Amino acid sequence: MTFHRIELANGLTVIGEPNPAARSMAAGYFVRTGARDETPEINGVSHFLEHMMFKGTARRSADDINREFDEIGANYNAFTSEENTVYFGAVLPEYQWRVIDLLTDMMQPALRLEDFDMEKHVILEEIAMYEDRPQFWVSDLARSAFYEGHPLGYPVLGTTESIRRLTREQMYEYWRRRYASNNLFLALTGNYDWESAVRQVTELTATWRRADAPRDVAAPPGRKVARAVPRPNLQQEHLCFVFPGISAQNDAMFAAEVLAVAIGAPVGSRLYWRLIEPGLATTAQMSHSEEDGTGQFYVYVACPPERTATIVAIVREVLAEATAQGLPPDEIERAKRKVASELVLQGETPFGRLLHVGFDWQYRRQLRPLSEVVDRFLAVTPEEVAAVLARRPFETETLVALGPAERIE
């Protein structure tokens, strides 16, 4: 596999994973900024700013942006997380120039006051609607409890109070610092023309400037908390457990992912057989999230309220058994194959590869072919999984229950 990479004079990096046999190409700007890089006063600005990037530039109105994406038949979107904001589009190869031009122009938003005031109402409505999505809401509540008082626990959407107080000037200052040319990069995948892309981006970003955009990657160890958030109107109890995990820079993240799949894949995992197959819960899943200098294991369960105490006891029992006894080789092998299959299915298109390529570069400054990543997962050994369990991550537990229950232990 041949990879492309160049750092322009202004500090902007462009990377690419070419696939001449593909029938499409994808492009995306990855910005190293999110809720983790905010303060309580401007919490939510990263996500709010993501919305504003679609509201127009000096060259385009909001209608122009949406119309042009439609004209080239793009599959496009953007998202903000605790640590990243990403803007992307996938198109036929003949529209490469237009999608790069459009995405690059969007990185220099107009941030018009009238658009800011209007979009603020949209963000506030989105925060209010979050209560209708208890699975996501309880995850935010649990993460905030786990990292209480630290930016890693800040809600990505912000709070009603922080968004109401936020000013256009604060957003502009945040954009000026965090969207500097040395704090974002452009990733390309699929059937693209590298030389054309480099010439185009070099010209379009000639006026971009570097800036100091630091991030404190030191992370607190997490807290032991059990908290109920009563919501009598909900029909189910939504439980979210958070435990310390493995960072994106630690090679043990491969074993951590395999461990999470073995214990909590939607089908065929330990939690599935203990909770779903007997009909005790409607959803029971475990996942691992690796981040900059830190990581977390999550367990999410939705169940009838009257079974809450039983479910909590079973989850803890499953995790305690894994810690005390380890996982047998055949169980690890099944989990490895599930991870590998999912990666291959996602990677069959340039659009599916874009995020994997981008985050490999964002966190590890590596460009690795899909085959190498799949082989690394398939090479995970029982000893590596045992080493993750030897950290005893499940002894530091945050548990938040959202639903009719008034208390949790």
200: Cα separation from own chain's centroid: 29
Q: Distance between CA atoms of 208 and 212, rounded to whole angstroms?
A: 14
Task: Verify that 350 and 316 share a domain, yes or no.
Answer: yes
Domain boundary among 174, 204, 234: 204
* CB count in 10 Å sphere of residue 207: 8
Total domains, the chain: 2
Task: Verify that 371 and 240 share a domain, yes or no.
Answer: yes
Task: Verify that 338 and 380 share a domain, yes or no.
Answer: yes
Task: Verify that 230 and 320 share a domain, yes or no.
Answer: yes
Domain that holds residue 131: 4-204
Q: Is residue 215 part of a domain?
A: no
Q: Which residue blocks in 166-215 are alpha helix, DSSP H?
A: 168-178, 194-204
Q: Is residue 361 part of a domain?
A: yes
Q: Is residue 211 part of a domain?
A: no
Q: Distance between CA atoms of 384 and 258, rounded to whole angstroms?
A: 10
Task: Verify that 177 and 251 share a domain, yes or no.
Answer: no
Active site residue 83: no
**Residue 358's pLDDT band (cuts 50, 70, 90):** very high
CA-nearest of 138, 169, 88 to 301 is 138
Domain boundary among 175, 204, 233: 204
Task: Verify that 281 and 384 share a domain, yes or no.
Answer: yes
68-84, pLDDT tens digit by residue?
999 999 999 999 999 99
333: three-class secondary structure by DSSP:
helix
Enter the pTM of the model: 0.96
158-206, pLDDT tens digit by residue?
999 999 999 999 999 999 999 999 999 999 999 999 999 999 999 999 9
Q: Is residue 312 part of a domain?
A: yes
**Residue 338's pLDDT band (cuts 50, 70, 90):** very high
Which listed residue (50, 290, 331, 397) is catalytic?
50
Instruction: Give the pLDDT score at 409.
Output: 83
Instruction: Give the pLDDT score at 1.
Output: 73
* CB count in 10 Å sphere of residue 384: 18
Task: Verify that 229 and 266 share a domain, yes or no.
Answer: yes
